Amino acid sequence: MAGVAPVAVGYAGLKDRHAVTRQSFSVQLPGRADPDWAALAIPGVSVISATRHNRKLKRGAHRGNRFRIRLRDVRGELDQVETKLLTIRERGVPNYFGEQRFGRDGQNLALAEALFAGRRMPRAQRGFALSAARSELFNAVLATRVADASWDRALDGEVWMLDGSHSVFGPEPWNADLAARLAAFDIHPTGPLWGRGELRSEGQVRALERAAIEPGRALAEGLQRAGLEQERRALRLGARDLVHEWLPDGGLVLDFQLAQGAFATTVLRELCDWAEFSA
């Protein structure tokens, strides 16, 4: 076996600055004995387990994430918060890219503009810039679908994504089977992750998507020049197994699962119209 994959608890530096997280990672140790993981001395980190495996863990090689979030100082009409939580369970939420995708004060979008203007930058920084530009255009399309209440229903020319995967199909004529699958969260409408090539969507959806990205045409053209290809992302996000608990001090604990690439902040933002809180 070539590698060791320990799971760490209590370190939030990879993504969640103020969270307690469990992270899995690989350490390449070909032909060497396991080190004494219990002696690992990093403040705030403890090793739960370590297992030998013949393949390394790649970034993004996971099905999803589970979140347990405590909201403090919740203020608002609690019955309306309860109603909103029920709606989120039954309907899901718009699958926006979260603010962290764009960097502090939107600095990743500024990087994208600089990149498309010809600035050279390291590979990792370039990746952040391209991702932010794509996310900005996707969010613009999604905001348009939210505005006309079509983010979780079918329009003419829809492209569908299978739940829990990146597989897409369509467009195809609307029928009872698609309606049942949409209601069961088996499929979701999609929006574009911009790049080269023609949009897969057709008809009403294609016209909507082209109009929504027009204000960001410079970003779209930059992504095309960078060589990215057209892809799709689900417009709807299901907060799986969502449960909540009110605490005696007025706090609210939310427990739910999200698919890979989804943001817990997209769930929390749906509560903002009904309550104020601090995380």
How large is the average pLDDT for residues 1-13? 36
- The dihedral built from the CA positions of residue 75, 246, 238 and 24, taken in this order, carries a sign that is positive
Position 251 scores a pLDDT of 87
**In percent, how much of the chain has pLDDT > 90?**
54
What does the alpha-carbon distance between residue 62 and residue 23 come to, in Å, rounded to a whole number?
Answer: 11
User: Please, which residues bridge with residue 19 across strands?
Assistant: none
Q: How far is CA 11 from CA 22, 48, 87, 92, 181, in A?
A: 7, 12, 33, 29, 39
User: Which CATH number does the domain 64-89+238-278 belong to among 3.90.550, 3.40.50, 3.10.110, 3.30.70?
Assistant: 3.30.70
How large is the average pLDDT for residues 155-176? 95
Position 278 scores a pLDDT of 57
pLDDT band for position 193 (50/70/90)?
A: very high
How large is the average pLDDT for residues 148-164? 96
Residue bearing the bigger pLDDT, 43 or 162: 162
Q: Is the pLDDT of residue 181 over 50?
A: yes
pLDDT band for position 6 (50/70/90)?
A: very low
Position 88 scores a pLDDT of 93
How large is the average pLDDT for residues 93-109? 91
How large is the average pLDDT for residues 97-101? 88
pLDDT band for position 139 (50/70/90)?
A: very high
pLDDT digits (tens, 9 = 90+) for 42-75: 777 777 777 777 777 665 555 668 888 888 888 7
Could you list the active site residues?
Answer: 16
Angle at 243 between CA 237 and CA 248, to 5 degrees: 135
What does the alpha-carbon distance between residue 243 and residue 188 come to, in Å, rounded to a whole number?
Answer: 22
The helix (run of H) or strand (run of E) holding residue 48 is strand 46-53
User: Which CATH number does the domain 99-233 belong to among 3.30.2340.10, 3.40.190.10, 3.90.1150.10, 3.40.47.10?
Assistant: 3.30.2340.10
Provide the whole-model pTM: 0.79
Position 43 scores a pLDDT of 77
